[in-house]
Chain A
């Protein structure tokens, strides 16, 4: 599978998806006007990865700001990872948040309620 590595911009996050390492990272701000155009290929990549996942997958989520459309796609990404987890494989989600922004941790906990995955919350 192709690796994806995208540099961050004023409106888009840094993205690194590496199937060889089982490593996925989304970091920074995310408020694209056309969210399907940005997240559609990323979601397809995860669906493809989910066909032959590694035993251990790590998703590092370090979002600074996101619009509601990005949050919907993040929910889709997490659902795909949840499917991998249900195949009795290890999937870790590292949910990063600023130490003075516990609301962001709460958002992670709200996502977690809809999943079987357990999040590891890391204050930065």
Chain B
């Protein structure tokens, strides 16, 4: 285990997580391509939580983030609460993304990158698409029913060295 965190997920945590993993990869002399793939995947995952995660009573989303690494793979898992309204939308997105080839996903990504608008609150809305491409579809996901019609959204991503 490299990193194991539970609590508020915000931009400050993201910066800490990025700096931590960057130091680890520098120590093991990981190539820049792999390092960039891991770090940008972490950025998209945690910013998805900061933008879409269900907020606690202080206005911040909470969740868990854990990462581990062996000779071949870097794996991380992130979980956060969402509401029942978000569940259908996320499930639909994930199902559609899973059904596409990597080349088709890359084509979609570049087309959408060249569209004009970025939502100030929600960003480019390309996070999941980017994660599917970056991980070459090595993504698993699940939803656990929680209290008050909320769900725990668990995303696990594996990146090959």
Could you list which residues of chain A lie within 8 angstroms of chain B, going by C-beta atoms? 10-11, 29, 31, 33-37, 64-69, 71-73, 75-76, 79, 98, 100-104, 110, 113-114
Contacts and interface: CB of A to CB of B under 8 A. Distances in A.
A49 to B, nearest CB: 20
Contact of A11 (B15, B32, B123, B127): B15
A68 B36 contact: no
B68 interface: no
15 contacts: A11-B14, A31-B14, A33-B11, A36-B120, A64-B36, A65-B39, A66-B40, A67-B123, A72-B118, A72-B124, A98-B32, A101-B32, A101-B33, A113-B110, A114-B110
Q: Is the interface of B mostly helix, strand, loop or mixed?
A: helix
Contact size class for B?
20 to 34
Contacts of B37: 103
A102 B32 CA distance: 9
B90 interface: no
B118 A69 contact: yes
Given A33-B47, A65-B39, A114-B110, A100 B33 contact: yes
B43 interface: yes
Contacts of A103: 33, 36-37
Nearest to B11: A33
A110 B130 CA distance: 14
Contacts of B130: 68
A75 to B, nearest CB: 5
B43 A31 contact: yes
B54 to A, nearest CB: 17
A112 B113 CA distance: 13
Nearest to B31: A100
Contact of A100 (B32, B116, B120): B32
A100 B116 CA distance: 32
A102 B36 CA distance: 11
Nearest to B37: A103
B105 to A, nearest CB: 13
Contacts of A102: 33
A73 B118 contact: yes
Given A10-B19, A101-B36, 20 more contacts: A11-B11, A11-B14, A31-B18, A33-B11, A65-B18, A65-B36, A67-B43, A67-B123, A68-B124, A71-B113, A72-B115, A72-B124, A73-B118, A100-B32, A101-B31, A103-B33, A104-B36, A110-B106, A113-B110, A114-B114
